[in-house]
Amino acid sequence: MQLQAKKIDLLNERNGFYLHVDRIIGLFWKKEMEKQVKLGRARSIGVSNFNIEQIEKILDSAEIKPVNLQIEIHAFLQQQEIVEFCQRNKITVTAYSPLGSPGINNFYSAYGKSKILPDLLGNDIVKRIASKHSKTPAQVLLKYTVQRKIAVIPKSLNSCRIRDNINIFDFELDNQDVKDLHNLEIGPLAKVGNWESWT
Ordered per-residue pLDDT tens for the chain, 199 residues: 677 888 999 999 877 766 666 666 666 888 889 999 999 999 999 999 999 998 998 898 889 999 999 999 999 999 999 999 999 999 999 999 999 876 665 656 666 666 667 789 999 999 999 999 999 999 999 999 999 999 999 988 889 989 999 999 999 999 999 999 999 999 988 888 765 554 4
CA distance 16 to 101: 20
| Parent domain of 31 | 7-66
Q: Are residues 90 and 139 in the same domain?
A: yes
Give every CB contact of residue 37 below 8 A, 6+ residues apart in sequence. Answer: 43, 44, 45, 64
Same domain, 153 and 117: yes
- The reply to whether 58 and 152 lie within a common domain is no
Residue 92 shares a structural domain with residue 117: yes
CATH number of domain containing 169: 3.20.20.100
CA distance 198 to 194: 8
Boundary residue ending a domain (17, 41, 66)? 66
77 with 135, same domain: the answer is yes
Q: How far apart are CA 93 and CA 73, in angstroms?
A: 10
Structural domain total, the chain:
2
User: Which phi and psi angles does 151 have, rounded to 5°?
Assistant: -70, 150
Of 93, 88, 26, 35, whose CA–CA distance to 57 is shortest? 26
Tell me, what's the pLDDT at 198?
43
Distance CA 85, CA 148 (A): 13
Both 100 and 173 in one domain: the answer is yes
Kind and range of the H or E run holding 82: helix 80-88
Q: What is the reported pLDDT for 191?
A: 87
Q: Are 39 and 125 found together in one domain?
A: no
In the chain, the amino acid numbered 67 is: V
Domain final residue pick, 33, 51, 66: 66
> Residue 104 domain-assigned?
yes
Q: Of the candidates 15, 42, 66, which is a domain's last residue?
A: 66
Domain presence at residue 1: no
Residue 25 maps to a domain: yes
Could you tell me if 98 and 113 lie in one domain? yes
198 belongs to a structural domain: no
Residue 12: helix, strand or coil by DSSP? strand
β-pairing verdict for 92-96 and 42-48 = unpaired
Please, which residues bridge with residue 147 across strands? none
Closest C-alpha to 84, from 175, 150, 26: 150
Alpha carbon 186 to its chain's center? 16
Same-domain check for residues 101 and 171 = yes
Kindly state whether residues 109 and 172 are assigned to the same domain. Answer: yes
Report yes or no on 183 lying in a domain. Answer: yes
The beta-strand segments (E) located in 49-145 are 68-72, 92-96
Q: What is the reported pLDDT for 181? A: 99
Residue 7's CB is within 10 A of a number of other CB atoms, namely: 13
